[in-house]
Amino acid sequence: MTAPAAVPTTTEQHHDPHEIRHHPEFDGTVRVRPGEEATAVRNIPNTLAVFATHFPRKPVLPGVLLLESMGALAATVCEGPASTGWRLTGVRGVRFRHFVGPGDQVEIHVRVTGRHERSVDLSASARVGDRTVATARTLTMTLGEAT
């Protein structure tokens, strides 16, 4: 555990532009620049039930679960102080480059690439160590009620 940051001694406070918060989808802190980008870490435990069938001899995290984590982080970037209800409505250019398995620690990064009236486009990537395991050219998040 790291020591807390020192409080500035001058009357003017300098705020880190990165907001750090806990998110239930992720195992560590989530580093967020609201409306811009975010990075989070997800640990992949060997106790996930999906590993019993996907695949028993060489367990592999299903790509859709990795994509779901990208979407959850994208929603965190889109949420402002008064807005909720962002949902993943489109995905383009997804590539799964390497397997993710039990014991891996996945670092997920999303970045806003475009804004529309009620939607936001983001790019996303997932890494395990120095290896990119998945990318999404565009995740489209839409503000509105779930159907």
* Residues forming the active site: 54
Beta bridge partners of 40: 108
Q: In degrees rounded to 5, what are phi and psi of residue 77? A: -65, -40
Strand, helix or coil for residue 70: helix
DSSP H or E segment with residue 21: strand 19-22
Which of 56, 57, 59, 61 is closest to 42 using CA atoms?
Answer: 61
Type of residue numbered 40: A
Beta bridge partners of 30: 21
